């Protein structure tokens, strides 16, 4: 079974009435998804809140989509991959580095900081007493600062540099990327972020 992670790309903007096309924005471009299987599979590729720490893969999205009645989910995934609305990445590869350089994370929701009754867990959502999601400290830091960076790779470099200590210029950010990718999936699954193209594109 493949260990490649799946990521949806783009910011959902809603339906284009009176038609039945739904709009996803990546950078300055808008892309259409039909109101049936394409939209559903793209949404499921974000992951399922509360599904645990298991990596979200193509097979995960396919299984959930088929359980929801989308018999040709695999074909829909192929179509979305060909349009770059989904990206499949094997951690630790050159493709993972290219992915990190070509996209950036954009934050959604609002933060409420560390939850008083759950040390080490941080709230995301408009109501501090009942947040949409509670995430670990690393994911919260990614949510807090990642959107200020030009790319996901730049985020990794800053995180690696901060971990190395003051005065360190040269860092190896590749191990950090292996840690960032699952955190990105957690934020996507909880509607706390989306992936956009990098500022260099």
Give the range among 105-109, 114-118, 194-198 with minimum mean pLDDT. 114-118
User: Hey, CA dihedral for 103, 144, 173, 186, is it positive or negative?
Assistant: negative
Specify the pLDDT at position 167. 63
The mean pLDDT value for 95-122 works out to 92
Specify the pLDDT at position 2. 67
Mean pLDDT of all residues belonging to the chain = 91
CA distance 69 to 59: 15
Q: Which of 148, 150, 151, 175 is closest to 161 using CA atoms?
A: 175
Specify the pLDDT at position 140. 96
pLDDT digits (tens, 9 = 90+) for 131-178: 888 899 999 999 999 999 999 999 999 999 887 765 666 788 899 999
The mean pLDDT value for 18-25 works out to 86
Specify the pLDDT at position 165. 67
pLDDT digits (tens, 9 = 90+) for 71-98: 999 999 999 999 999 999 999 999 999 9
The mean pLDDT value for 168-194 works out to 91
CA distance 131 to 89: 30
For residues 53 and 186, the model is more confident at: 186
For residues 159 and 16, the model is more confident at: 159
For residues 16 and 64, the model is more confident at: 64
Specify the pLDDT at position 52. 65
Share of the chain above pLDDT 70, in %: 94
**Full-model pTM:** 0.93
């Amino acid at each position: 079974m493949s260990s490649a992670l799946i990521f949806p790309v783009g910011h959902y903007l809603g339906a284009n009435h009176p038609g039945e096309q739904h709009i996803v924005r990546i950078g300055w471009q808008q892309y259409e998804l039909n109101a049936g299987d394409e939209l559903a599979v793209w949404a499921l590729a974000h992951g399922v809140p509360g599904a645990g720490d298991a990596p979200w893969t193509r097979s995960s999205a396919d299984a959930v989509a088929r359980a929801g009645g989308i018999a040709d989910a695999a074909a829909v995934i192929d179509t979305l991959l060909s349009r770059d609305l989904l990206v499949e990445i094997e951690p630790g590869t050159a493709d993972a580095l290219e992915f990190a350089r070509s996209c950036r994370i954009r934050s959604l929701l609002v933060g409420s900081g560390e939850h008083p009754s759950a040390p080490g867990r941080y709230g995301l959502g408009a109501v501090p007493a009942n947040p949409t999601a509670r995430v670990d400290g690393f994911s919260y830091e990614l949510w807090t600062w990642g959107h200020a960076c030009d790319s996901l790779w730049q985020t990794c470099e800053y995180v690696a540099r901060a971990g190395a200590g003051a005065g360190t210029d040269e860092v190896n950010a590749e191990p950090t990327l292996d840690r960032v990718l699952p955190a990105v999936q957690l934020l996507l699954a909880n509607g706390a972020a989306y992936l956009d193209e990098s500022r260099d594109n």
